[in-house]
């Protein structure tokens, strides 16, 4: 389980641009690592567009924003283009990183149990430590909540 004050688990995942992103390569900058269930669904779109709308504030703070879901790169490209998302989306189709961060959970959707991502965000400081772990975040207040948590 990922804990505040402890090093964030390193990983490398493919991005919407086709490049691979390694968390440890971003040291020196705060990182907003947010996990969301699925591209182009109502809650996930609200969440992503909320970040998009205040992205300049994240940039002012020097923060790198990374969105992670089990969707593949092609899905991320469509989602990013459709909503003009200015930040990087990472593909975790085998949910290895989601499991490592403790956000791959059993969910009860419409009376049916299934495994999926629990909407969660980790603010990682410039030294690579978890400054804030935010679980079960609300899509409509997410961006403001994360900005308030940035060191």
What CATH number corresponds to the domain at position 88? 3.40.30.10
What's the whole-number average pLDDT of the chain?
94
Residue 2 in any domain: the answer is: no
Positions in the chain short of pLDDT 70: 109-110
Q: What's the domain count of the chain?
A: 1
Confirm whether 44 is a catalytic residue: yes
Catalytic residue among 44, 51, 85, 98: 44
pTM of the predicted model, to two decimals? 0.95
Residue 56 in any domain: the answer is: yes
CA distances from 36 to 5, 55, 103, 138 (A): 23, 17, 9, 11
pLDDT at res. 107: 75
Helices (H), 22-149: 42-53, 55-60, 73-83, 96-100, 142-149
**DSSP states of 78-115:** HHHHHHT--SEEEE-TT-HHHHHTT-EEEEEETTEEEE
pLDDT at res. 149: 92
Residue 6 in any domain: the answer is: no
pLDDT at res. 40: 95
Range of the domain at 16: 12-149
């Amino acid at each position: 389980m990922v804990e505040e004050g402890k090093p964030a688990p390193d990983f490398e995942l493919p991005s919407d641009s086709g490049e691979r992103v390694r968390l440890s390569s971003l040291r020196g900058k705060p990182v907003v690592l947010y996990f969301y269930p699925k591209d182009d669904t109502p809650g996930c779109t609200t969440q992503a567009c909320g970040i998009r709308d205040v992205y300049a504030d994240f940039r002012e703070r020097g923060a790198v924003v990374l969105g992670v879901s089990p969707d593949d790169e092609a899905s991320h490209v469509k989602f990013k283009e459709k909503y003009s998302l200015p930040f990087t989306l990472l593909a975790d189709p085998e949910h290895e990183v989601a499991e490592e961060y403790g956000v791959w959970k059993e969910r009860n959707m419409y009376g049916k149990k299934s495994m999926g991502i629990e909407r969660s965000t980790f603010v990682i400081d410039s030294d690579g430590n978890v400054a804030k772990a935010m679980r079960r975040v609300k899509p409509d207040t997410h961006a403001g909540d994360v900005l308030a948590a940035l060191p």
